[in-house]
């Protein structure tokens, strides 16, 4: 099966939708944040505190390159599009899906998501999150083959729309 790669801002549902897609297609999900936590041996929040976001992006880039060998559903982290080399990599893959949502809803979702501490969003004000979000929008758009709006939609509906769009061979 061609891999399906999910990209999008924090709270877009890359982890949640990736899990459901993998169940539906009877395949594996590979979540970059989980892979990274295993590789760095600490939480993402602790890593950001100790080494900063630039260092995190470098490891994320390595994980993206290693993901060529993986089969299934790839849930990236929201910062994957920041590096030009990553955007080029994504543009050359066939099933890259940008999960988008209105900023208000993204903020609402990350604020409610107590299980996941996101250094660039948790405990930030909506205005601070907007500062992170706005410059990234064109980067998600230019990296994706397909765009799926998740605003006010149930995960199950989103999964069906993705399956209508991508090539699952």
Ligand X SMILES: Nc1ncnc2c1ncn2[C@@H]1O[C@H](COP(=O)(O)OP(=O)(O)O)[C@@H](O)[C@H]1O
Ligand Y SMILES: O=C(O)C1=C[C@@H](OP(=O)(O)O)[C@@H](O)[C@H](O)C1
Does residue 100 bind ligand Y (CB under 6 A)? no
**What is the C-alpha to C-alpha distance for residues 151 and 137, in angstroms, rounded to an integer?**
15
Nearer to ligand Y, 113 or 161 (CB): 113
Cα–Cα distance, 97 to 75 (Å, whole number): 10
* 19 labelled binding-site residue: no
Least separation in angstroms between CB 169 and ligand Y: 27
Span interacting with Mg ion, options 10-18, 19-27, 99-107, 131-139, rule CB under 5 A? 10-18
Quote the least distance from Cβ 65 to ligand X, whole Å.
20
How far is the C-alpha of 80 from the C-alpha of 8, rounded, in Å? 9
78 known ligand binder: yes
Q: Which helix (H) or strand (E) holds 39?
A: helix 32-40
Nearer to Mg ion, 3 or 15 (CB): 15
CA distance 98 to 35: 20
Binding residue per annotation — 16?
Answer: yes
Q: Could you list the residues that contact ligand X (CB under 6 A)?
A: 8, 10-16, 109, 112-113, 116, 150, 153, 155, 158
Minimum gap (Å) between residue 105 Cβ and Mg ion? 16
- In the complex with ligand X, which residue's Cβ is closer, 38 or 169? 38
Per CB under 6 A, 74 contacts ligand Y: no
Determine if residue 98 is left, alpha or beta; phi over 0 gives left, psi from -120 to 50 gives alpha, anything else beta. Answer: beta
Q: Would you tell me the crossing angle of helices 53-66 and 84-91 to the nearest 10 degrees?
A: 20
**How many of the other CB atoms lie within 10 Å of CB of 120?**
18
Q: Which is nearer to ligand X, 14 or 30 (CB)?
A: 14
């Amino acid at each position: 099966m061609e891999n399906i790669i999910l990209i999008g801002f924090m709270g877009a549902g890359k982890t949640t939708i990736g899990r459901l897609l993998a169940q539906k297609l009877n395949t594996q999900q590979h979540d970059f944040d989980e892979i990274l936590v295993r590789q760095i041996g600490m939480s993402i929040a602790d890593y950001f505190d100790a080494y900063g976001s630039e260092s995190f992006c470098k490891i994320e880039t390595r994980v993206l390159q290693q993901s060529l060998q993986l089969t299934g559903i790839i849930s990236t982290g929201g910062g994957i599009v920041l590096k030009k080399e990553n955007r080029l990599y994504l543009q050359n893959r066939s099933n890259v899906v940008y999960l988008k949502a209105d900023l208000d809803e993204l903020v609402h979702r990350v604020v409610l998501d107590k299980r996941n501490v996101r250094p660039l969003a948790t405990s930030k004000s909506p205005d601070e999150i907007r500062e992170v979000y706005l410059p990234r929008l064109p980067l998600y758009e230019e990296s994706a083959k397909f765009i799926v709006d998740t605003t006010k939609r149930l995960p199950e509906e989103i999964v069906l729309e993705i399956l209508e769009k991508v090539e699952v061979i």
